[in-house]
């Protein structure tokens, strides 16, 4: 099964999406401008782009995709727990560690969050500091802020 890559121009930057016919492997924010290759045959990648469009337009709160992120067993546990954080809600890194059953693993949980290869779909942006601060986000804290505001319905639309 061949791996394919496409690019999606979101309101907060270009996303590079990789996957195959059966699953999504990664979604990363990239700084380069790319155009979408015309020969994408993967239904799952096409479905991912459609669902991201629905998400950014405010018409989707949950994703229905098959995900295949590459990581350690522990990272997989952390990423699966991230999928349990509801749309429009946040959790602290401490709460995330407690949900995984090990309050002392807070740094390992934070590290695994930072290595999440499937941005937005696996919602690591919903994890915040215990004091409510928007600590860390591989895509940039400004994107984390935008995504949280978008999900809470507080994102201000530009008039110009």
Other Cβ atoms closer than 10 A to 94: 15
Q: Which of 70, 72, 92 is nearest to 82 (CA)?
A: 92
What six digits make up the tokens of 45?
């990648």
Q: Count the residues in the chain.
A: 160
**48 included as an active-site residue:** no
Report the b/e string of 28-62 with b at 16+ CB within 10 A: ebeeeeeeeeeeeebebbebbbebbeebbeeeeee
Query: Which of 12, 24, 100, 124 is an active site residue?
Result: 124
Token look-up 């709160």 returns: 61
Instruction: Tell me the catalytic residues.
Output: 124
């Amino acid at each position: 099964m061949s791996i394919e890559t496409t690019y999606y121009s979101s309101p907060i930057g270009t996303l590079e999406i990789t996957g195959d016919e059966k699953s999504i492997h990664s979604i990363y924010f990239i700084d380069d401008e790319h155009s979408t290759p015309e020969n994408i045959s993967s239904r799952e990648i096409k479905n991912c782009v459609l669902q991201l469009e629905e998400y950014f337009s405010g018409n989707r709160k949950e994703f229905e995709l098959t995900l295949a992120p590459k990581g350690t067993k522990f990272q997989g546990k952390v990423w699966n727990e991230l999928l349990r954080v509801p749309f429009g809600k946040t959790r602290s890194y401490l709460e995330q560690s407690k949900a995984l059953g090990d309050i002392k693993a807070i740094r390992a949980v934070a590290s695994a969050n930072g290595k999440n290869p499937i941005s937005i779909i696996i919602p690591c942006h919903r994890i915040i500091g215990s004091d409510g601060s928007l600590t860390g986000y591989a895509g940039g804290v400004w994107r984390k802020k935008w995504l949280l505001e978008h999900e809470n319905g507080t994102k201000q639309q530009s008039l110009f």
